[in-house]
Structure 1
Amino acid sequence: MLPLLPWALFLLPSAQAAFVRRWDCNPAIAASVDAISFQRQSLTGSLVHSDHEGPTLLLKLTGDYEADCNSLNGSLAQLVVDASVLGGSVGVQGESRGRCAENPYGQHFSMSNQGHSQDHLTGGLHKYAIYETSYYLNHSYALHTLDTTIHLRLDGQEITCITAHITPYIGSVTSRLLKALPFLIMVLFGVATGPLRLFHTNGRSMFRYELADPSRDPAQSHVQGLGDCLQFLQFIFLTSCLTLSYPGFFRGIVGELAWSSLIFRNWPVTHGFAYPGVEDGIYATNSTWGLEEMTQVLGGTTISDLWVNAIVNLLLVIVGIVALVQVPFGFQWASRIFRRRQAIELSDLQEESLTQCQRTGWSILRAVLDHFLFPLVTFSTSQLLLTSWYPAYRTFFAVLLVGFLAVSLGFTVRYLIKTNRQWAFSHGSLFPKHHSGTWIFGVLYGIPIVRGVAIGALQRSGLAQVVVLIICETINLVCLLWHYQDFPAWRPACFSIGRLVSLVMSCAFLPQSEATERSQGILAYSILFLYATMMFFGFLVPCIVSIALFILRKAGIAHSHGGPLVQPREAPIYGIGQLSQRSTRKTSFTELPELRPVAYPQSTGMPSTNEFPSYFRAPRPMTPVSMSSHQFSTLPRQSHSSDESVESSMDSVDLSILDEDTTTVSGDGDYSKREADQYYGRPMASQVNARVERTENTCATGEDRSWRSSWKSRKKTKGFEVVRPARPGI
């Protein structure tokens, strides 16, 4: 904290302009002769917008001459400014003025040097000089960085030369859009892959009440695609925190995604200190590490408080998750008690409460380990850089948190693989959802931890950060392509390729690359364009298509199996491992809620396999035997039977479900209620009536008399009779 105090003291009185970080000019640009010694002290600037002159850049340079300023005519020296964007000039030089003054820090410097004479103290007060100039810009250049070269010249002689990268503020409207648009895309993608999928399938799937029903599996997420988009936004934000010489506009634009990594400017913990962020229309930064520069761009607090803020915001997110899961459950039970006006069985309440607690626990695990693991590890490991400034217990807690997250992730992944529930926990995630049986595939779940350690703990070396991140993406891509036959890997592979390309392009921002400012600016825009393209085609377009097709299908305009994010209900193949995970509760299928009829297309002929979903089994064919069963079910019940054995054998069979079902199928007794109907759905009543009419027309012929007489003769037989074929030769 002590090294930050001079910087804070310097910023407090500077109300005239914002601090601008400066560097020495390239020797090829600077003058070779430097006869007059001038020591620079500070460079400040501001961006002023006026209706008449447009945006104007104001710069102020202060420093000390070796000799007396007045004797050198230092007030006549002028500042010459040249600002460019991608190598092109963006404005014209304005008025420049200078003056010699007394050094406001001279008395402080003389007190620290007690051995100096009084003459040296007095003479030092007239060596200070102040120079100001204006530069008229063609546009505001809100999403650009001005590569500025500043020359101080006296009578055509070069006194000093400095360079600066000045980044104008992107504007409040652009800032809100850069925050809101990614958040809106993430919400739409979560809706398209979660609730929309449930509405599309209408709850029809194999083992609906055992495996695929999200209300029965507590590990299932209702917004399955939320983690997918959130992880990609976190990658964009946290990789912009690398210790690289990114152009100023790059961090200014990407910094608006800080909310995805649990950072909300300088809230809630600040300890009374926050960086200025945007000051006088430009970003004021002066940092050593990339994460520290990002906090300065955001106008946040120090790195140490950044970690505390992330933990506090995570706890708030967990509280919100608990409220979203438990509050609707409480209202549901309260409404059930009020509607029935009677006490609910305690066993039912305990069972559903246990399920809700399990769902809450899985939701918290998903939020911590699948959604926010990457930023938590990054901010925690960054505390290792502050070990010499803070107590040891602070670093110990940060390391302990990382270890706890790693152990929790290991046990969770092991349990998911053992129970084959990866699809339920991380469905829609960019991480693997199937296990190939090799240990290397399970290690891929630890990639966020390695990324977080690389960005947080290796802040001192940008080269090491880039190398580790490239290795992680390469391993992830190789494993995805190696096991592409086990699961659809094209989508995570495309995202992995995009991340790898962005990291390779980021190598141009290393000091060792010695790339020009124009090349770095072009590459920065290219990376931003790559991110925008992946967000547009990878998240926005698929969810818009899925939502549009869903609306058209509900309106009856289109008959589609869903959009790109709603997978068709193809025949899954369940092995003994999946079947063994089904519930063993003793629940009859007749006690399960009725499924809503599915609107299938009308047909004029007999039903074919193409008229119904892949799992729908057409009604039984209209044969004499099936019609006999229909007539049996529709005839009035006989009061008594002449055969006592028939009555005794039927006492243990519950035929009430058949009687209940005869009214729902509009007289088609051939389509009896059976277990398959609960899984596969039913056709519309219009189709059933059409089949009944065709059957009645057929029965109007002489055919029906023959089978009807045969049914009457069979009915007179006693008990249960087995009919065997005649033996050969008899």
Structure 2
Amino acid sequence: MQLRHVFWIRVFLLSTLNILACQAAWVRKFPCESREYNLNPLESPFRIDSLHGSLETFDRSTILSLSILAIHDIERFKCSDLDLPLVEESLRFHALGMPVGVLMNFSSNCPLPITTSLTPPEGSLFSKFDVLYSFDHTLRLQTVVAEINFITQDGVELDCVTPKITPDIGTAASGVFTYFPAAVMAIVGIASWATNRRDVSIRPPLFESREAQSIVGPVWTVIFELSDYLRYLQFMFLAGSLTLEYPGFYQPIIGQAAWSSLLYWTGPIDHGFTYTGVEDGMYVSNRSYGLEYMSQMIGFPQMTDIMVDAFINLLILVFAALVGFLILYLAMSQLSKGFYLSVVSWDAAFILLGMILSFFSLPVLSYLSYELILIGYLPNYRIVLVGLSMAIIVYSNFLVARNAISQKDYGDHSSPDPSFQASRSLRYLTKANQYLAQYLPAAVPLLQGIMIGGLQDWGMSQVLVLMGIEIILLLHFAISLRDRLFVSIPAWCGIARLLIICLTLTFACVRNEVAKQWVGYVMLCFHGIVIIFGFLYQLDDLEISGGLSSPQDDLESSPDPFLTTPNYTRHYVTDFSAFYRQPRQSYARRTSRNGPSNPTGTRKTSHEGSGETLCSDSNLSTGSQDSFEELMEVPIRPDIDYSVRESDAYYGVSGNGLVSSPSIPPELAEESQQDQSTLRVWAVRAVENFKRPKKKEKGFQVMRPPRPPPPPTPPPPQPDL
């Protein structure tokens, strides 16, 4: 019964073989590893022209239909010269070096008749070989490889081809690899916001308004902490787009993180062509490499169109950030009536610019520098625009880094170390080293992006340059952080990137497909460990130690890459005990028991209180009270208006001053509140908050009353007559 069932399945599959072959997708052919030298296709009388295939799933088994199209010279080769049993014997697919599946059918059609759609060159004919192979599982997240040798009856090798079939990873795996890193990024942002919100009072103020500082102040630190995580995802995606021969499953899995590099939408620019990505159940590609090959794996347009689409996706994110900022502004304006848009307009714009540059400089520079390898093929104006865009991005990052460094040095007016004042050349050298140490962490992603896109024709050079950049960055972290090297998130990210680059070097040096597949799985596991434990566990430690550490410890352990400077930088003055003075005690009003006292007695008491203050601090309140009573005895001058304060000339009279507004009966107040609409109140307040308040001049002028006129001089005495 089982044999009959298998027989009918085979009959059904054989009947649909021609249909599957007609609908087959393009399969890229690779040279065989076992061949010591490559034959010249023009010298061989028989060669493989193309491969087409398809994957179909039937009853929990996967059927591979592979069609091999060959071309031969009719004068030097005959179809009877081919050893078909040896060809059939070589048809064995392997995954990680272990054989998988069974061969169900192998057929040959040599030669093919000449048709209008299939016309060979003069003096040659086409031949076709059909393979039907069955796998007992779906082969998710795997790549199957086979070496197919075409040998003559005399044992002469004609040609050898290696098809590498990578099935579609599936919707479930694609969703996990796409949304799980995004969820971790959201958790990192929420935890960073909750942690840095408590430390906003010890940070340098970004805003003049206390409400703005308490709500928007931690944004800058959160941006830097998120940028570490996002840059690792971008590095993971772009480092998987080098000009190397990766295992077949690696790039489709890494490509699911393309959203981190502004490739979350294909965009409107495609010039009528977009790669299919997955076709007939497998990933298809041609002879492209690098970023262009990655665009095929993820089903995007060509790289020349991806650059424009990436900028469009960036503008969409900027618009969403602006909408979020306006919503936050309206919420803050309702919570605080003294909060205006002008208070945070420039600071919020700078934060938005810093967020864009910190998040997306790496992929944007990679896409822009890719255009430079097409000089001579693209119009000159486009090359000029690319160069200007790269210069603007680099200079904008420099401005953001300089502002971050100035925020670090906020309030630092201490004098430099005297040891650095001995020689002018030594000071210049120290200053140069300090600038290099401060701007190096910001320059590393810029250099990585330019090298990844600009060195697309040299895969080994890409790996070596990236390795050198990471080594220099780690040396900087080792010098600047020292004991805190292994508790710094940027340092751990640098170590992880360096290990990934070292493993990537295997793809450039090793030809063995089995070794490449094992290294690919190790790299994927390492990426997962970094994403899960390297960030979530580190943030958990940050949350636990947040309540136990001091504010100074929080500042020292800040993950801001711009704050990691060497030990020869200036130090902060944190001991303010020498400037502390105990507040004075409140003065009590004079009571009736003091009674009227003469000025002489009052002055005597005042002097006694002053003397006692010099001897002891215990009688400070008594002396101060007597001095205050002495001032109260000064007669009031009639030519001075004491109801006008000097500060009112600059600050104005407050609304709750001495003159009180007429009280409103509670009945009328309740009726008026019920009649007003909540939406109308919000709209009116929003319009009022958008009005820019009148700019006040800095400083103030003390207005003193005019001096009284001098007393009239008495007339001179008349001489006595």
Task: Give me the TM-score of the superposition, normalised by structure 1.
Answer: 0.66
Match of 1:476 in 2: 473
1:37 aligns with 2:24: no
1:165 alignment partner AA: K
The structural deviation recorded for 1:503 is 0.6
2:519 alignment partner AA: L
Q: Which of 338, 351, 355 does residue 367 from structure 1 map onto?
A: 355
Residues 333-354 of structure 1 deviation map (CA, whole Å, 9 limit, x = unaligned): 3687xxxxxxx7xxx56xx312
The structural deviation recorded for 1:108 is 6.1
Matches within 5 A, 1:589-608: none
1:161 alignment partner AA: C
Residues 620-642 of structure 1 deviation map (CA, whole Å, 9 limit, x = unaligned): x9xxx99xx79x98xx9969974
- The 1:644/1:168 distance shift into structure 2, 3 A limit, reads farther
Match of 1:464 in 2: 461
Contact 1:417 1:435 in 2 (8 A): no
User: Which runs of no fewer than 5 residues in structure 2 stay unpaired?
Assistant: 1-19, 412-430, 557-568, 577-581, 603-618, 631-721
Residues 157-204 of structure 1 deviation map (CA, whole Å, 9 limit, x = unaligned): 665321122211111110011001000001101111113442x56x66
Match of 1:524 in 2: 520
Q: 2 CA distance for matches of 1:62 and 1:414?
A: 61
Match of 2:424 in 1: none
Q: More deviation in 452-461 or 538-547?
A: 538-547
Contact 1:221 1:363 in 2 (8 A): no
Match of 2:32 in 1: 25
Match of 2:231 in 1: 231
Match of 2:532 in 1: 536
The structural deviation recorded for 1:409 is 1.7
1:132 alignment partner AA: D
Superposed CA RMSD in Å reads 4.5
Q: 1 CA distance for matches of 2:596 and 2:201?
A: 44
2:169 alignment partner AA: I
Match of 2:57 in 1: 49
Match of 2:315 in 1: 315
Q: Which of 82, 90, 98 does residue 88 from structure 1 map onto?
A: 98
Match of 1:601 in 2: none
Q: 2 CA distance for matches of 1:422 and 1:42?
A: 66
Aligned residue for 1:82, secondary structure, equals coil
2:54 alignment partner AA: S
Matches within 5 A, 1:544-583: 561-562=546-547, 570=553
Match of 1:243 in 2: 243
Match of 1:493 in 2: 491
Q: 1 CA distance for matches of 2:554 and 2:502?
A: 41
Matches within 5 A, 1:404-415: 404-415=392-403
Q: 2 CA distance for matches of 1:436 and 1:219?
A: 29
Contact 1:321 1:360 in 2 (8 A): no
Contact 1:322 1:360 in 2 (8 A): no
Aligned residue for 1:64, secondary structure, equals strand
- The 1:364/1:106 distance shift into structure 2, 3 A limit, reads same
- The 1:369/1:716 distance shift into structure 2, 3 A limit, reads closer
The structural deviation recorded for 1:523 is 1.3
Identity of aligned residues (%): 25
1:417 aligns with 2:405: yes
Contact 1:152 1:159 in 2 (8 A): yes
1:99 aligns with 2:109: yes
Aligned residue for 1:57, secondary structure, equals strand
Contact 1:219 1:359 in 2 (8 A): no
Number of residue pairs aligned between Structure 1 and Structure 2: 549
The structural deviation recorded for 1:401 is 0.6
The structural deviation recorded for 1:399 is 1.4
- The 1:290/1:355 distance shift into structure 2, 3 A limit, reads same
- The 1:265/1:569 distance shift into structure 2, 3 A limit, reads same
Matches within 5 A, 1:278-289: 278-289=278-289
Match of 2:387 in 1: 399
- The 1:18/1:568 distance shift into structure 2, 3 A limit, reads farther
The structural deviation recorded for 1:24 is 3.1
2:250 alignment partner AA: F
- The 1:417/1:335 distance shift into structure 2, 3 A limit, reads closer
2:472 alignment partner AA: I
Contact 1:61 1:132 in 2 (8 A): yes
Q: Which of 382, 387, 401 does residue 375 from structure 2 map onto?
A: 387
Q: More deviation in 236-245 or 219-228?
A: 219-228
Contact 1:377 1:452 in 2 (8 A): yes
The structural deviation recorded for 1:371 is 1.0
1:72 alignment partner AA: S
Contact 1:63 1:129 in 2 (8 A): yes
Q: 2 CA distance for matches of 1:540 and 1:416?
A: 26
1:508 aligns with 2:506: yes
The structural deviation recorded for 1:312 is 0.8
Aligned residue for 1:194, secondary structure, equals helix
Q: 1 CA distance for matches of 2:304 and 2:410?
A: 35
1:188 aligns with 2:195: no
Q: 2 CA distance for matches of 1:355 and 1:576?
A: 31
The structural deviation recorded for 1:544 is 5.2
1:174 alignment partner AA: A
Match of 1:140 in 2: 138
Q: 2 CA distance for matches of 1:251 and 1:102?
A: 39
Q: 2 CA distance for matches of 1:712 and 1:498?
A: 65
- The 1:715/1:311 distance shift into structure 2, 3 A limit, reads closer
Contact 2:357 2:393 in 1 (8 A): yes
1:177 alignment partner AA: V
Match of 1:684 in 2: none
Q: 2 CA distance for matches of 1:160 and 1:274?
A: 33
- The 1:193/1:26 distance shift into structure 2, 3 A limit, reads closer
- The 1:488/1:194 distance shift into structure 2, 3 A limit, reads farther
1:452 aligns with 2:454: no
Q: 1 CA distance for matches of 2:396 and 2:302?
A: 29
The structural deviation recorded for 1:131 is 1.3
1:250 alignment partner AA: Y
- The 1:156/1:131 distance shift into structure 2, 3 A limit, reads farther
2:67 alignment partner AA: K
Contact 1:193 1:224 in 2 (8 A): no
Task: Give me the TM-score of the superposition, normalised by structure 2.
Answer: 0.66
Q: More deviation in 271-280 or 492-501?
A: 492-501
2:98 alignment partner AA: G
Match of 2:71 in 1: 64
- The 1:712/1:535 distance shift into structure 2, 3 A limit, reads closer
Contact 2:370 2:456 in 1 (8 A): yes
1:499 alignment partner AA: R
1:178 alignment partner AA: F
Aligned residue for 1:56, secondary structure, equals strand
Contact 2:107 2:129 in 1 (8 A): yes
Q: 2 CA distance for matches of 1:576 and 1:644?
A: 59
Residues 322-371 of structure 1 deviation map (CA, whole Å, 9 limit, x = unaligned): 111122213543687xxxxxxx7xxx56xx31233123312322223211
The structural deviation recorded for 1:70 is 8.3
2:48 alignment partner AA: R
2:166 alignment partner AA: T
Matches within 5 A, 1:699-718: none
Q: 1 CA distance for matches of 2:234 and 2:105?
A: 45
Residues 645-703 of structure 1 deviation map (CA, whole Å, 9 limit, x = unaligned): 99xx9xxxxxxxxxxxxxxxxxxxxxxxxxxxxxxxxxxxxxxxxxxxxxxxxxxxxxx
